[in-house]
Structure 1
Amino acid sequence: MSILHMFSLEGKTAIVTGGGRGLGAQIAEAYAEAGANVVICSRNAEACQEMSEKIKSMGVGSLAVTCDVTKPVDVQNVVSQTVGRFGTVDILVNNSGASWSAPTEDMPLEAWNKVLDVNVTGTFLMSQAAAKVMIKQRSGKIINIASIAGFGGTPPFMQTIGYNTSKGAIMTMTKDMAVKWGPHQININAIAPGFFPTKMSKVLIEHGEKMIMQSTPLGRLGNDSDLKGAALFLASSASNYITGDVLKVDGGAHAF
């Protein structure tokens, strides 16, 4: 197998949750560019449909499915529609996420529950449903979107304890799933992005941009293509001997 072929996703089918915008859209585009069929799902039906049409224009197959990842019925519907249309689930990217900003001592319980439910329970439910297909296939790649915020305490401008906690949980979940599903030839890894300008991070970046720049060796935010290479690598056969890992894509911030 040539090195370029190792990075091809020709004939593969990927599900990207929260794929209608932001980092999910960036990953979905990368997979389409590499030849994969891509299923876009999120609660925003309009955003899903728009991205799905864009992907189809790139010469691959696509579906747009409305899904709340905290609801098992919605999750199973996504997987069933994917298998029904494309016959397989080769790649799952758990990108759907939520956040809430409030001082730790004032974080509302309902906000805490919402963030943990979407980020942690949603990732679990999607992974569980996809893995049942992958176990039968004896192959598959699951990529969980974590965050550098999940590695420990965060700067004072990041009053997002629910989000930070959820991303740490996702890292642990990634490692445990890698151990449990490795014998079925399923690779489970996570990507921990640094600061990318998205709808969710916009206000956070506005408040802490100076500190972010000072603590990022490359001296910039992530751009519209900086996540593509990492996401493709972990979805392709180039990463077949890697599982249970957390790949940081943060401009070097973790090196401080």
Structure 2
Amino acid sequence: MNEIFDLTGKVAVVTGASAGLGADAALAYAKAGASVAILARRVEKLSQVKAEIEKTGQKVIAVACDVTSEESVKKAMQTVLDTFGHIDILLNNAGVAVAGAVDSMSEEDWNKSFDTNVKGIFLACKYVVPQMIENKYGKIINVASVNAVVANKGGAFIRHSYNASKAAVLGLTTGMAASYAQHNITVNAVGPALFESEMTSDTLFKSEEFLKGYAYLNPSSRAGRKGELNGTLIYLSSDASSYVQGQFILVDGGFTLV
């Protein structure tokens, strides 16, 4: 049974891998046997993640990449291909959560959400999918959010551009899945609920009132813990999910059930 989850011989690319869920996922890929390319804007932070992955004995490279820049993404993916020769798994994890409602937020903040959360996935796929088609194999996982399907009513946690951009990720996921399935490429999305990360530790996790409300609303009565997303990512990145296409898997402790 473990063989269908084995990633030995595979090459995984993780965007937004400098910290949080991306860094955790990159380490999980290495532990599952994959060679890993970790991408992010902050090269100094990538070096720390790279050092952790190297302890597993798997090959890893750290590549500077701004997913909002086509030239940067093109160069980064070419570096990965030059190093490993192929890309089997693409985890589109880079993302931002910009606060604000449509009646008050700036156009700049709106564009920031879409440039990173949607355009970033488009650009990464643009420079990875062609060689996946050529190799007749690929696993693409897009990190969306529970906030693609639910939202906050008010207060400081309104994120209309985040809601819209993460919903767009789902549309892009289903579109690509329908088009690329014929090439033995699976495209799926995951929807994490609240996990502690760089993006949430200085905001949501600093609000005791918010955390109490979240625990009350979530059937699991807590936020997600470090590593709890990895099992779903390994599943969607392995042959265990060979017939899973265009799906949105929520990893939310039941938050969207109530």
Corresponding residue to 2:241 among 239, 243, 247? 239
Query: Which residue of 1 is the match for residue 185 of structure 2?
Result: 186
**Preserved contact between residue 104 and residue 159 of structure 1 (Cα < 8 Å):** no
Equivalent of residue 22 in structure 1, options 4, 14, 20: 20
Secondary structure of 1:166's partner?
helix
Q: Is the 8 A contact 1:39 1:52 kept in 2?
A: no
Q: Which amino acid aligns with 1:166?
A: S
Give the 3-state SS of the residue equivalent to 1:244 in structure 2: coil
SS in 2 for 1:144: strand
CA distance in 1, matches of 2:216, 2:131: 45
User: How far is the alpha carbon of 1:219 from its aligned partner?
Assistant: 1.0
Identity %: 36
CA contact (8 A) 2:151 2:158 kept: no
Query: Residue in 2 aligned with 1:37?
Result: 35
Cα contact 2:100–2:161 (8 A) shared by 1: no
Per-residue deviation, 1:153: 3.4
One-letter amino acid matched to 1:183: Q
Unaligned 5+ segments in structure 2 are none
Q: Please give the secondary structure, in 2, of the residue aligned with 1:132.
A: helix
1:254 correspondence with 2:256: yes
1:87 corresponds to which residue? 85
Q: How many residues align?
A: 254
Aligned match for 1:65, one of 34, 52, 63: 63
Structure 2 Cα separation of the partners of residues 156 and 251 of structure 1:
22
> Hey, what's the Cα distance between the residues in 2 that align with 1:77 and 1:26?
24
2:109 to 111, 114, 127: 111
Q: CA deviation at 1:129?
A: 1.1
CA distance in 2 between partners of 1:188 and 1:130 (Å): 13
1:1-256, aligned counterparts within 5 Å? 3-157=1-155, 158-202=157-201, 203-207=203-207, 208-256=210-258
CA RMSD of aligned residues (A): 1.1
Using the size of structure 2 for normalisation, the TM-score is: 0.96
| C-alpha contact 1:189 1:243 (8 A) present in aligned 2 | yes
> After alignment, is 194-203 or 98-107 more displaced?
98-107
Q: In the alignment, is the contact (CA less than 8 A) between 1:193 and 1:249 conserved in 2?
A: yes
Contact residue 195 and residue 205 of structure 1 kept, 8 A: no
**Alpha-carbon separation, structure 1, partners of 2:197 and 2:95:** 12
